[in-house]
Every structure is written in C-alpha cells, then in structure tokens.
Amino acid sequence: MPRRQSPGLPSRQQILDFITQSPTPAGKREIAKAFGLSAQDKILLKALLKDMADEGLIDSAPGRAFHKMGGVPKVTVLRIVDVDGDQPVAVPEVWHSDAPPPKLRVMERGRKGPALGPGDRILARTEEKGAGWIAHPMKRLARGEELVLGVLHAEGDRLWLKPVDKREKRDWPVSDAGGAGPGDLVLAEKAGRPPRMTVKVSEKLGDPFAPRSFSLIAIHKHGIPNLFSEEVIEEAERVSKLPLGEGREDLRHLPIVAIDPADARDHDDAVWAAPDDDPANAGGFRAIVAIADVSFYVRPGSRLDKEARKRGNSVYFPDRVVPMLPETLSADMCSLKSGQDRAAMACHLTIGKDGKLINWRFTRALVRIAANIAYEDAQAAIDGTLAGEPFPRALVADALKPLWACWKALSKARDARAPLDLDLPERRVMLDEKGRILSVAPRERLDAHRLIEDYMIAANVAAAKALEARKAEVMYRLHEPPSREKLIALKDYLKTFGIEFAMGQVIRPATFNQLLGRIDADAEHRPQVMEQVLRTQTQAYYAPRNVGHFGLALGSYAHFTSPIRRYADLLVHRSLVAAYALDPDAKATRLAAEDAARMEQIGTMISQAERRAMEAERETIDRYVAAYLAAHVGDVMDTRITGVQSFGFFATVVGLGGDGLVPVSTLGAERFHYDEGAQALEGEESGERYTPGMKIRLRLVEANPISGSLRFELPEGANHLAVRRGGKDRKIMGRRGRPANIRHQGRRR
C-alpha cells in the first residue's frame, strides 16, 4: 500500500531524477545525503524506496544501489503484444524507462471466456521467475490507447500538449487537434513510436480553469470510469422495476429515519431505536439499522455487477458524484426516500445498557422511511432550537429522542474501547448554481454525526460477527497497527517538542489519544503532532483474512452500511443473504460462492480503487482551494507552518487548507542554518527561527488551480511573528533581498 509522504521527503520523481543523473551509484545513504534528510525522514525514506520498488519504479542493484525502472510493479496493467504458441506475451502498459519494457509470459489458469490476444489489456499480479517475468491475470480490462490529459498551447504555427500530470516532464506535439485550440483542456491519444510520437486529441473538455473542470481533470488523470454503457443503463432500468418480493419482514410501521448531510446525493442507511421491554435487558435497547438492499437488484455476474466491481466505489467531488451504480438505482430505487416503499437489509440489534452488543440478526425487509433529516436539523431538534417544519415534529419524540438515548449507551462502549480520536477537520467546498466557488471551510462536527457513525459501526461489527458465526466468507475492513519504523520516526519527531514517547509499551489507539491529551488544545504544534500521528497509521484495506481494525479498536469489522457506493459492502450483503438463506435463487447463490473463492483478489482490486478515489478527491479539493485563493494573490493571510526543509518551509492557510512553499531564497540576505533534529530554519545573525506548527502571516504570490499548488513569501518589512526562544519573546522580521545562503550541518549549500 502506498505510504503517505512526510513533507520533508523528496517526491518519487525527484528520487528518479537523482538516481538517473547521479554520476556514482545511488543508494539510500546517497539519496538521504543529497536531500538533507533528518533522522526520522531517513526511516520514512526506506519505506518510500520499498514502495517505489514494489511499484516497479526502481530496482536494487548489487551493492544496494538503485537504478531506474528495472522491475515491474507487483500488480499492474499489462497489454498483450504477442501470442507464443498458446501463451500470451504482455508488456507493462506504462513504462518510465528509456530501456525496452520487459516481456511477461501470461499464465492463464482456469480461463473463462475468449483467449487473450494482441491488443487486450489485463490487470495482473507479476512475479520474477528465473531470468524473466510471468503474469497471473486478475481481470480483463477494456481495450484502449494510452491517453494523456493536458492543456493545448501554441508555439509558432504548431500546437503542443502540456500534460496536467506533473510526472510527465515533456510536452507532446499535436498531430490532430480535433477542433480544439490553445488553452483548451483535452484528452489525447498517443500515436506513433518514439522519438516521433505525437498525440491526437480525442476529446475536448473545455476551459481548464472553469470550476467544473477540476473534477474532470481528476477523473481523466486517474482513469476513473465515469460513463455507463447503454447495456448497463438498460439493465438498471429493468431491474429497478422488479417487484420487491414476498417474504420480506414488514417494518413500515416503525418511525425509521434517515439522517444525512443536507446535500446528500443518496440515502442508503436509516435507523430506529427503542427501549428494550425484555426484563433480561433492563435499561438496554433494541435498534434497527436499515440498509438499501442493493444485492436484490445487482446480482452476481450481471452487467451491473461487473461495472460496480470495476469502479469499486463511488467518487465524490464538490460539483459531481461518479456513482458506482447508475442513478436509476443509486439515486432512486436503492435510495431510502421518505414516504416510499423500499427494499432493505435490516440489522436488528440488542444493545445492553453499557452499549455492548448482546445479540443481532439480519432480515430482508420492507421499509417506508418516516423522514429524510439533515444532520443540522436533527441536532437542532434535540437541542430545542429547530426552526420551521423540515420534518414532522412528532418524530422528535417518536424517533430522535429514543435514538439519542440508545446512542448514549453506544457511546459508553466506544469510550471503553478508546478508538483513535484525531480531530482533523474535513474541508467543504460550497458552489453556486454555475459551479463557482462560494466558500471553502471546515465541516461542522455535531453529535448527530457521531450518533450515525456509532450506529453504523455497531451494524458493521454485527455483520462481521454474524458471518463468522455461520462460517461464511467475510470481506473485512482491516487496519493494521503502526509499523515499528513509523513509531520510531514518531518518537524522534516528538523529541523536537520535548515530548517523550516510550517504545517498549503495547501500542493501542488509546496510546495516541493519551499522547495528544498531554498537549494543550491551543498549542501551536498540536495540529502538526496530530498530522504526524495520522502519518504513523497504516492505510486501511479490504481482505478476507481478519487482522482486526486498530483505529477503531475492534477485533472483527466489515463494511455493511453503504452498498450503493462501496462494492465491499455489496459483497458482505451477499454473504449475509447466503448465510441466512434469504434468497431462493440458486444461481445467484452459486455465483456468490464463486465470488467467495476470489475474495483475496477482489479485495486487492477494490482497495486500489478506494485509494484512487481518495487521491482524486483530495487533489480536486486542492484545485478548488487554489482557484478560490487565486482571487487573493497579493493578500497577506494567516497560515501555519506544516513542514520545514533546508530549501524552505511549507505553510497552510488557517481554516482553509491548501499547502504552499516559502522558498528559503525569499527569507532575506543572511545565512540560514537547517537544524535537522528540530526541523527548523534559523538565521545565523538574527536568530529568526521557523519551525513546524508556528502561526505566521504570509503573502500569497501564486495559486495554480490546474496543479492545486500555492506559493507564499514573507510580507515585506512586516513584524509578523513572535517566537519564544530561550524564555524570551523575539520578533521575526520578514526581509526581502538577495537569495539567502543556507548552512546545513555546518556546510554551505
């Protein structure tokens, strides 16, 4: 799994450039020395180099030096170029080396469907064997040419394409503009062979600076499928008209409510709770978590199923959603809308007064949601500040108050578990009807949000445990404990703030909570420490083997509550249907069993799709932030330093986000010393000091909406920051002049 980079680490491309240009063999030591890495960054560098080797970007040569692109990623897309006898031969679809790409022998075992031939594309696991490589197909992909997303520009009488992806270092000559002109954002196909390769525009996407283009850039850059075929749409229309079926438990008499964001695009979960009248559970509760019965409409092996698996999940952007399922299902028949009969999977929970799950069962049900309620309205109703009539007032007593009472019990169990508690606000981009940015601000965090989260977690735990009890396949949501190398890096980092972190203890989520509890809420470095704790965590993923969920402090956990937008949840629903014998369709049961045999492979695919979506969503938010700030270039604003390196420091706009560089060359005329241990830049003469977590007033000098990057500088002649050093307050002056000189560990750089 890709690891999140520290701000101090060089990028993958910087490492590749250094290895390529180095006149001597370049190993980890040489790379760390060249980029002036701190002790903790050297540990993270080791992990990054391992990731790059796994991705096929670098190979380790004898003597532990690295060379560029000598290997193949462990999981990658291959293109069939030949057939040797009956055996297909493939090459990597993307290859970043000047050397010829390796040819891989494709091992087709238990083949279904037509044989692979030249031009076919596959997702495959690769393995080095002897002097060559072999590939094990995981999935056949649609045929397609290699595409480049970029902006057209003219030089003389010729058009060129400048790629959006920063990793593409060259501009491409355009052989066919397809009606597009300079300044247009386009999707183009590569044509010809190096060194005479050109590009042919296949789709004109419009103005790259238009707000609605930012998500299009991410969609095309990351290859996110965003169009449904006519066959898939027709199938969705057909199955949406299916009768809801007999034998469903009728829950339409219960005041079940769906509590979602005010701008929710779909509603796949709803909740109900009431005090338990069983004397054996005095003070406890009964609860129902009703989830859209997507598995009723999306059957194993169908076109809808194949398309959903390919997408893995829905992707949410400020201006659009790229759904996993066609809108006929995702926004209509599988969306739990108030006053309409809907098919649901019902998770019935018995909850003790201490919030622990006592019992659970699953049924296929018929529900009629009493109301779709926004988080803010639900919270206002409980607080007694609700204005107007957004939903029937009777639901406050009949639905909301019992839900809150049961949640207080659930929260006791959560507090006893002590899951990881990081208060990192999510940015929300508000657009007008034309897609223009109105505001970018952190989302408000209410008890109503926590309430729904705790009900969903309870249902997810019940789903995993129910399947385990019936010896059924489970697609777990897994989160492993932090690695020792990351804990060592955290320990070294915390030392710079005078915070001790013992390595001999058993590391639990509560360990990090207690650590953060020792830092004052208003301390400047608290957000930075919180970010570093987040970087210390591993990335969650899907797999059928259980290793628990570290962050939630749970031994068994599976995603059950969002089958509209996550394929993993759909698999869990199918397992529950089979385990509880809820579907008389023998064919569907057989096909679901075949899926169960491929759970490891499917888990890898949907985990990759999730990471792709997260990266696309994050990049798009950064572009919107940069576009929003583009109107404020020249303004001085409050920022917080997020990272310091020998070449400058990074800062983020307080309350808004975005990450920008302040080059050391803009700090003034004096020499600056880079203190690795403290991650600080310090002026030799003035003692001016820049450290992570400090708040500072900076002038925005550049905001690039296409890349999402920002650049800052010190306000000229401004007394902008007080730094406590040696027990005294000192004023840091921002002075501009000739480029600053840098001292790094006693050496001029």
Cβ partners under 8 Å of residue 678, min gap 6: 496, 691
Q: Give mean pLDDT, residues 102-122.
A: 77
Token match 């509209």: residue?
Answer: 564
Cα 537 to Cα 553: distance, rounded to the nearest angstrom: 13
Strands laid side by side in the 269-275 sheet: 249-250, 357-368, 341-351, 285-292, 269-275, 257-260, 371-374
User: Residue 506 and residue 502: Cα distance in Å, rounded?
Assistant: 10
pLDDT at residue 145, as a whole number: 47
Instruction: Decide if pLDDT at 10 tops 50.
Output: yes
- Residue in this structure with the two tokens 């495959």, named with its chain if needed: 124
Please, which residues have CB within 8 angstroms of residue 218's CB and are 6 or more apart in sequence? 224, 317, 616, 617, 619, 620, 623
> What pLDDT, on the 0 to 100 scale, is given for residue 149?
82
pLDDT exceeds cutoff 80 at 291: yes
Residue 718 reports pLDDT greater than 60:
no
Give backbone dihedrals phi and psi of 454, rounded to 5 degrees, phi first: -70, -35
Work out the percent of the chain whose per-residue pLDDT is above 90: 44
Q: List pLDDT tens digits, range 154-194.
A: 998 899 998 887 567 678 899 999 889 999 988 888 776 66
In tens, the pLDDT along 337-361 reads 999 999 999 999 999 999 999 999 9
CB-based burial of residue 63 (10 Å sphere; 0-12 exposed, 13-18 middle, 19+ buried)?
exposed
Distance in angstroms (rounded) separating the CA atoms of residues 345 and 465: 16
What's the pLDDT at 286? 98
Count Cβ neighbours within 10 Å for each residue of 258-282 and write b for 16 or more, e otherwise. Answer: bbbeeeebbbbbbbbbbebeeeebe
The pLDDT-based confidence of 62 (bands split at 50, 70, 90) is: very low
Q: What are phi and psi of 631, to 5 degrees?
A: -75, -5
Q: Report residue 591's pLDDT band, with 50, 70 and 90 as the boundaries.
A: low
* Of the candidates 475, 464, 459, 473, the residue with the CA atom closest to the CA atom of residue 578: 473
pLDDT at residue 297 tops 80 = yes
∠ at Cα 643 (642, 649), nearest 5°? 105
Question: Does the structure show a pLDDT above 90 at 252?
Answer: yes
Give me the pLDDT at residue 239, please: 96
pLDDT tens profile 192-237: 666 678 888 888 888 888 777 889 888 888 878 888 989 999 999 9
Do the strands 321-322 and 315-316 form a parallel or antiparallel pair, or are they unpaired?
A: antiparallel
Stretch 480-503: mean pLDDT: 88
Query: What is the rounded end-to-end Cα distance, in angstroms, of the chain?
Result: 35
For residues 639-656, one letter each, b for 16 or more C-beta atoms within 10 angstroms of the residue's C-beta and e for the rest, the string is bbbbbbbbbbbbbbbeeb
Residue 730 has pLDDT above 50, yes or no: no
Helix (H) or strand (E) holding 623: helix 599-630
User: Over 70: is that where the pLDDT of 390 sits?
Assistant: yes
C-alpha–C-alpha distance, residues 115 and 108, integer Å: 9
Give the per-residue pLDDT at 3: 43
Q: How confident is the model at residue 282 (pLDDT cuts 50, 70, 90)?
A: very high
Q: What pLDDT does residue 719 have?
A: 37
pLDDT confidence band for 148 (50 / 70 / 90): confident
> Would the pLDDT of 698 be above 80?
yes
pLDDT, tens only, 72-83: 777 788 888 777
B/e letters for 387-418, b = 16+ CB within 10 Å, e = fewer, are eeebbeeebeebbbebbbebbebbeebbeebe
Give the model's pLDDT for residue 634. Answer: 95
- Segment 74-98 shows an average pLDDT of 75
Determine the average pLDDT of the residues in 597-614: 89
pLDDT for the residue 64:
54
pLDDT at 141 exceeding the cut of 80: no
* Among 46-60, 437-451, 614-628, the least confident range: 46-60
pLDDT at 196 (0 to 100): 76
Q: How confident is the model at residue 589 (pLDDT cuts 50, 70, 90)?
A: low
> What confidence category does residue 717 fall into, taking pLDDT thresholds of 50, 70 and 90?
very low
- Residues 703-713 have pLDDT tens digits of 988 878 899 99
Residue 245 has pLDDT above 80, yes or no: no
Q: What is the pLDDT of residue 480?
A: 96
Pseudo-torsion of CA 68, 69, 71, 74, nearest 10°? 120
Of the listed ranges 157-161, 391-395, 670-674, the one predicted with least confidence: 670-674
255 phi and psi angles, rounded to 5 deg? -80, 70
With cut-offs at 50, 70 and 90, classify the pLDDT of residue 669.
confident
Beta carbons within 8 Å of 712's beta carbon, 6+ residues apart: 639, 651, 660, 661, 662, 698, 699, 700, 701
Cα 329 from Cα 340, distance rounded (Å) = 14
**What pLDDT was estimated at residue 725?**
36
Average pLDDT over residues 718-738: 35
Are the C-beta atoms of 644 and 681 separated by less than 8 Å?
Answer: yes
Under the banding of pLDDT at 50, 70 and 90, the label for residue 25 is low
- Which of 57, 75, 191, 189 minimizes the C-alpha distance to 122? 75
Residue bearing the bigger pLDDT, 454 or 218: 454
Top pLDDT among 330 and 139 is at 330
Between 600 and 469, the more confident residue is: 469
| Token pair listed for 285 | 């509760």
Q: Round the average pLDDT of the chain to a whole number and report it.
A: 84
Amino acid present at 579: A
**Rounded distance between C-alpha atoms, residue 334 and residue 325, angstroms:** 10
Assess whether pLDDT exceeds 70 at residue 747: no
pLDDT level of residue 679 (50, 70, 90 thresholds): confident
pLDDT tens per residue across span 656-666? 888 888 988 88
SS3 string, 382-421, reads HHCCCCCCCCCCHHHHHHHHHHHHHHHHHHHHHHHHCCCC
pLDDT band at 6 (very low <50, low <70, confident <90, very high): very low
Query: For residue 340, what pLDDT is reported?
Result: 96
Please indicate whether residue 147 or residue 468 has the higher confidence score (pLDDT): 468
Is the pTM above the cut of 0.95? no
What would the mean pLDDT of 246-258 be, rounded to a whole number?
A: 95
Give dist(CA 269, CA 564) in Å, integer.
Answer: 10
As a whole number, mean pLDDT of residues 456-467 equals: 98
